[in-house]
Structure 1
Amino acid sequence: MVKTNEKKKIFLVDDDMIFLKMLTFEFQKYGDFAIETFETGELCLENLNNTPDIIILDFYLDGITKSAMNGLETLDRIKIANPNIPVIMLSSQDKIDVAISCMHHKAFDYIVKSETAFLRIKNTIETLFKYQKMEKELKWYIDKM
């Protein structure tokens, strides 16, 4: 995983408590992440002032409350509040139209929940942080010209 002096803050948002606990456990094994978990999109949005480096967000979110905001609506509101926060969408839906919809709503990536989901999330996060580092270096270089 990414090695820095400062822990990267990750918001995990999922109404599936078992999956949420499993992801939390997997991230804590690496020790270089500060994890905050939320069972609803509403709770995630209420805590955006905690400035996450990345949000991992479930597509559905109606397991706790049927009237809860879904993942796409939460994603849209995150992007309105701070368009620079990357969001990885998760779902048990292995459908291309769901993935395309997430990407149209400006998700960084879409990952299907499975036994290999954490590995894909980990790889996506590593790619994201490398990309962000390259962007900063390029901006620094351009500003120096």
Structure 2
Amino acid sequence: MRNDNKIKVFLVDDDSVFLKSMEIEFSYRNEFVVETFSSGELCIQNIENKPDVIILDYHLDGINKTAMNGLQTLDKIKEIDRGIPVIMLSSHDKIDIAVSCMDHKAFDYVVKSETAFVRLQKAIEIIFRYQNIENELHQYKDKM
């Protein structure tokens, strides 16, 4: 849930350098509260902390080869709460991976690059714009 109008972001990546750099980028912005996890399992164990958005690495087998991968984690998140938007990250710029992520109900797919943070911010902005529109529609319907 939003904490003092801040967006709670879960960052999930087994690449500790990338994870730390994303944590720093988000932490510099006052509108975010960030929790980081090095595995899908840790993310799932903490899902009761109600993130507003989850940024999830497609490959999560760098530390533990038997760990849940990104798609398995995404599926589990959607089992628990379909309403949590998940943005998938990958170092691979392949259309089949992007399509697979979208088939598994990811909100967006972002390639890890020097512009990844900007793209993630834009995707999060779009998520909340859609949610505001949905809320307004529900309010309008309730008045009818």
| TM above 0.5 | yes
Runs (4 or more) in structure 1 with deviation over 4 Å come to none
What fraction of aligned residue pairs are identical, expressed as a percent? 61
Shift of 1:7: 1.1
Give the paired residue count.
142
Cα distance between partner residues in 1 of 2:79 and 2:63? 25
Task: Give the letter for the 2:137 counterpart.
Answer: L
For structure 2, the 5+ residue unaligned runs are: none
Task: Report 1:1-145 matches (<5 A).
Answer: 5-145=4-144
Using the alignment, how far apart are the partners of 2:132 and 2:24 within structure 1? 27
What's the offset of the Cα at 1:61? Answer: 0.3
Equivalent-residue separation in structure 2 for 1:43 and 1:22 (angstroms): 19
What's the offset of the Cα at 1:5? 4.5
SS of the aligned residue for 2:89 comes to: strand
1-side partners of 2:4 and 2:72: how far apart? 34
| Cα deviations by residue, 1:78-105 (Å, 9 ceiling, x for unpaired) | 0000000000000001100000000000
Q: CA RMSD in A?
A: 1.0
CA distance in 1, matches of 2:84, 2:127: 11
Q: Deviations over 1:48-102 (max 9, x none)?
A: 0000000000000001111110000000000000000000000001100000000
Q: Secondary structure at the match of 1:110?
A: strand
Residues 18-45 of structure 1 show CA distances to partners (whole Å, capped at 9, x for unaligned) of 1101111111111111100000000000
Distance 2:24 2:53 in 1: 17
- Find the aligned partners of 1:22 and 1:34 in 2 and give their Cα distance: 15
Letter in structure 2 aligned against 1:14: D
Deviations 1:109-144 (A, max 9, x none): 000000000000000100111110111011111111
Q: Distance in 2 between matches of 1:52 and 1:64?
A: 24
The whole-number CA distance in structure 1 between the counterparts of 2:36 and 2:46 is: 10
Structure-2-length-normalised TM-score: 0.97
Distance 1:5 1:72 in 2: 31
